[in-house]
A and B are shown apart, each in its own frame.
Chain A
Amino acid sequence: MAGTIAQSTRSRTGNSSATNRATLESAPVRWTLIGIAALFLGLFLFMPLAVVFISAFSKGISAYFASFREPDALAAIRLTLLAAGIAVPLNLLFGIAAAWAVAKFEFVGKSFLITLIDLPFSVSPVVSGLIYVLLFGLQGLFGKWLQAHDIKIIFAVPGIVLATVFVTFPFVARELIPLIQAQGSDEEEAALTLGASGWQTFLRVTLPNVKWGLLYGVIICNARAMGEFGAVSVVSGHIRGMTNTMPLHIEILYNEYQFVPAFAVASLLAMLALLTLVVKSIVEWKAQQDVVEEDKSWSMEPA
């Protein structure tokens, strides 16, 4: 059996273009389908991306870099980095803990917990922003108490961080749950019978096995944390140089017809997105390599 598996993988990777004559569509159908896909991608993905960079550089390189010397722009970049810098590690910890609990244990309320984790996906970001205003705003539930103790959350940095944490909540957990579930608990059980404690098992066995998925979750979480607009917009108050993140700053510049600075900052976010894509591809390729290694071992088994 091992022999046939090895053979089939070889033929699959070897001459994939020549195989499956029988399932091939006729040339016009193929080119129409490819054309539609290419047109769609060009229109909705590549063109907007190109426009961002063309507009950003429309008045030359010096104008482009001058946009970042603005104190307000610098403050926006700093705030975005701060919010992501707090939200990502928090949700990393939370995501690992939640995924571990959901994937390894059976308990009452498990499906409710999964639904809760998904909540930020299903709720509109504007609504999640409003929730914080209703809780911590002046007229809100804790408003009086917060004012009495001189703690500012809404229209201040803590509110932005809170909103970002909420919106990026599911990314790491969602990425890890299916991964940990698929890996089963054989290796953990083996570690236990060898005398490892729960913590040692987690650090030495579970975590290394999900490292690529974890990294991917973190990347996606970070991209969303930096790009979040809706929820942050509601709690920010748009105070220039104080509570503006990069997306909010871009909106203000754009509304003021300052196109070059607006697209210059936007190009930063676009580059972040591109970087995310590259890292994502590397991570997926790496994970794929592990799978291929696993496959290869089949062919090494004596038939």
Chain B
Amino acid sequence: MSIQALNITKKFGHFTALDNVTLEIPSGELVALLGPSGSGKTTLLRIIAGLEFADSGNVRFNGKDISDRTARERQVGFVFQHYALFRHMSVFENIAFGLRVRPRKHRPTDAKIRAKVQELLELIQLEKLAQRFPSQLSGGQRQRVALARALAVEPSVLLLDEPFGALDAKVRQELRRWLRQLHDEIHITSVFVTHDQEEALELANRVVVMSEGKIEQIGTPDEVYNRPATPFVYKFLGNVNLFHGRVDDGKTYIHQSETEHVVYVRPHLLDIDRKANGGDHFRAKIKHINSAGPLVKVEAITEWGALIHVEMSQDRYRNLCLLKDESVFVIPRDVKVFQVHEGSRQKPA
């Protein structure tokens, strides 16, 4: 089922959570709403679910306006950030809940409910824990139960609010892969909210980057990462070094006194060398080196006194034999230039 949210505005008192937001999600996609806290992503998700109602604008499922329907009538599967499992019910009863509360004439027989729950327990690989209570499960297990409970009512849309937010890194990785697989199997239109750019880029077909109640960019992970539409998107999707600069004849000049343009460079797109090599470069002094991890992270102070971050491979680091407090040349390989107060332009350095 496709989802359309058209011209949605929502205010809480004086705070504008969503400012005329329009979003269309084609059927069968796995979409991430990505943004910092307070960007309105959860509010948008809750409005789609019918747990919150927009001040203006409307929500359509398969082109049909459902703005006035309650959460109960919309029949979406919703997975809450803190799982919201029914704490006094066993895992089995949690999953069966959606089927048991159906009006009598639509309610499946007990045997059918049992079979359905069993099938879902197999899907989430928790058959053995059916009689446990939520408090007896780990975070990752709870999350899977929450997902099974949402899927039990066979929703046409699956909405997940920070589904992995409360889990530790390893479990999060595992569940991410599992959710991806699940989506490949059942092709249910899914929207999940996250503030973790890595999660959004890894999991989603399409990423919606939000900030301060507005959508900054909609695109595939590759598009938003490699062709960011706004400075915000560039900054939010990875570490950046920020410079001020000026653009002349298609050439970017970095200079701290310029205010017309901002120049962004990702840490891994800065090279460090001992020779100037005749190319574009500036000088910097190494302040700190962290060589633990796949990439070596170097902090340096530029000749005009700004702190920059550089990332290089372990091989490169070993070849250079960098030392603390050493003076080096920094060569930007690729930069991203945004005009201050205007749209974006990409220029080679």
Q: Which residues of A contact B (CB under 8 A)?
A: 1-2, 186-187, 189-197, 200, 204-205, 208-209, 290, 293-294, 296-297, 300-303
The one of B51, B75, B87, B138 in contact with A195, judged by C-beta atoms closer than 8 angstroms, is B75
Residue contact A193 to B78, C-beta cutoff 8 Å: yes
Q: Could you give 13 example pairs across A and B, Cβ below 8 Å? A: A186-B80, A186-B84, A190-B84, A191-B101, A192-B72, A193-B71, A193-B76, A196-B97, A196-B98, A204-B101, A300-B136, A301-B168, A303-B168
User: Taking CB as reference atom, which chain B residue is nearest A299?
Assistant: B138
The 3 closest A-B pairs by CB, nearest first: A194-B98, A186-B84, A196-B101
**Nearest chain A CB to B294 CB, angstrom units:** 23
CB distance from B12 to the nearest CB of A (A): 12
Determine the chain B residues whose CB is within 8 A of the CB of A208 once the complex forms. Answer: 88
Q: In the bound complex, how far is the Cα of B135 from the Cα of A293, in angstroms? A: 6
Q: With a CB–CB cut-off of 8 A, which chain B residues contact A300? A: 136-138
By the criterion CB–CB under 8 Å, are B97 and A191 in contact?
yes
Q: Dominant SS at the A interface?
A: helix
The chain B residue sitting closest to A300, CB to CB, is B138
A189 with B80, Cβ < 8 A, contacts A195-B153, A196-B97, A297-B135 known:
yes
Give the complex CA separation of A209 and B89 in angstroms: 10
- Are A187 and B87 interface neighbours, CB within 8 A? yes
B71: which of A1, A187, A189, A302 is its contact (CB, 8 Å)?
A189
Question: Chain A residues near B102 (CB, 8 Å)?
Answer: 195
Question: Which of B133-147 touch A at CB < 8 Å?
Answer: 133-140
B residues within 8 A CB of A195? 72, 75, 98, 101-102, 153
Supply 6 further A-B pairs (C-beta < 8 A) apart from A187-B84, A192-B70.
A190-B85, A191-B97, A193-B74, A193-B150, A194-B97, A303-B168
Assess the A302–B86 pair: CB atoms within 8 A: no
Is residue B170 within 8 Å, beta carbon to beta carbon, of the partner chain? yes
B103 to chain A, nearest CB (A): 9
> Once bound together, how far apart are the Cα atoms of A204 and B101, in whole Å?
9
The interface residues of chain A lying within 8 Å CB-to-CB of B137 are 297, 300
Q: How far is the CA of A37 from the CA of B153 in the complex (A)?
A: 58
Interface centre among B87, B133, B153, B170 (most CB of A within 10 A): B87
Instruction: State whether A297 touches B136 (Cβ < 8 A).
Output: yes
B: contact size bracket: 35 or more
Find out whether the CB atom of B135 lies under 8 angstroms from the CB atom of A296. Answer: yes
Closest Cβ–Cβ distance, residue B11 to chain A (whole Å): 15
> Given A186, A204, A296, which contacts B82 in the complex, CB threshold below 8 Å?
A186
| B44 at interface, CB cutoff 8 A | no
B72 touches A193 (CB 8 A): yes
The digit string for B34-69, where 1 denotes a CB below 8 A from any CB of A, is: 000000000000000111000000000000000000
A194 x B168 contact (CB < 8 A)? no
Closest CB in chain B relative to A2 CB, distance in Å: 7
**CB contact under 8 A between A193 and B87, given known A296-B135, A297-B138:** no
Asked if residues B101 and A200 are in contact (CB atoms below 8 Å), the reply is yes
Chain A residues near B51 (CB-CB < 8 A)? 189, 192-193
In the assembled complex, the Cα of A197 lies from the Cα of B80 at a distance in Å of: 19
Judging by beta carbons under 8 Å apart, are A205 and B168 in contact?
Answer: no
Whether the Cβ atoms of A192 and B71 lie closer than 8 Å is yes
Q: Is B123 an interface residue (CB 8 A)?
A: no
Q: Chain A contacts of B245 at CB under 8 A?
A: none
> Does B163 make an interface contact (CB < 8 A)?
no
How far, in Å, is A300 (CB) from chain B's closest CB? 5
Task: Give bound CA distance, A187 to B101, whole Å.
Answer: 15
A186 and B168 CA atoms in complex are apart in Å by 22
A302–B87 touching, CB < 8 Å: no
CB neighbours of A192 from chain B (8 A): 51, 70-72
Complex Cα distance, B133 from A296, in Å, reads 12
Q: Are B153 and A194 touching (Cβ within 8 A)? A: yes
In the complex, what distance in Å separates the CA atom of A204 from the CA atom of B97? 9
Among A192, A195, A196, A200: residue with most chain B CB under 10 A: A195
Residue of B with least CB distance to A201? B101
